[in-house]
Amino acid sequence: MSNPENNRDGNAAPSISLNTSFVDRNNFFTYTSGRWLWDEEYQLKQRSIRFDVQALAAAAAQSVVADSCVEVSKLGEGNFNKTFLLKMDNDVEVVARIPHPNAGPPHLTTASEVATLSFLRNHLKINVPKVFSWSSNASSTPVGAEYILMERANGVELNSRWETLSDADRTRFLKEYFPVEKKLAEIKFPKYGCLYFKDDLPNISESDVIFDQYVVGPTTSLAFWSETSDIDIDRGPCKSPHQSQS
């Protein structure tokens, strides 16, 4: 199997069979987690995304060497992404993350998220979910949308337990958490921007490559894209925090 970080498109193998009895498909594409008092039609459109469920299931099955995907359910959605749980015939569970139209610049947002997860997991040894497969180009995949396929993280959300934890348990958690913060704080990059695989950005100089395969590229912050996506402005990478303002 190819390196997960290089398995971008997840094209399904012809031999993979699919269970077509997926449930709960009506709300797969639309935003169902809230309402708006202003311009609701536009807000919902910005958080709705259509994709090929069968193609996503096939890509997930292939990514974990399963014969078929037997169930797909919607885990939830936030302001910028939808998440789905895909269960395979070999009992493996895969989480699929699909960005909303308002998540950020196409390609760059997904590519940077995958590269960042890879960097955290492989270089800083932080236990983030493993990426099985991904695509940052909606038009190049049968899924018809950008996606990330990753392992399901064990455990529960901290905010659901924090109030009921004992002081001893809270202290134990903080002692385990601070070393992670320390690793992140100590990392120094040559420029300001977002992290990418070097193959995902054109015209990159080898002198800008870090740890053999990563590079700092344009920011994906919505402050630089939401109202100015069609304007040619400096989105980085920048040599200093003030460069883009000069």
Closest CA to 197 of 1, 7, 2: 7
Q: Could you tell me the CATH superfamily of domain 4-151?
A: Phosphorylase Kinase; domain 1 (3.30.200.20)
Q: Over the stretch 79-111, which tens digit does the pLDDT of each residue have?
A: 999 999 999 999 999 999 999 999 999 999 999
- pLDDT beneath 50, residues of the chain: 1-6, 12-17, 23, 245-246
Q: What CA dihedral angle connects 208, 214, 216 and 222, to 10 degrees?
A: 160
- The pLDDT assigned to 13 comes to 44
- The pLDDT assigned to 1 comes to 33
- The pLDDT assigned to 225 comes to 87
Secondary structure (3-state) at 117: helix
DSSP letters for 156-195 = --GGGTGGGS-HHHHHHHHHHHHHHHHHHHH---SSBSEE
> pTM here?
0.87
Q: What are the extents of the domains in the chain?
A: 4-151, 194-245
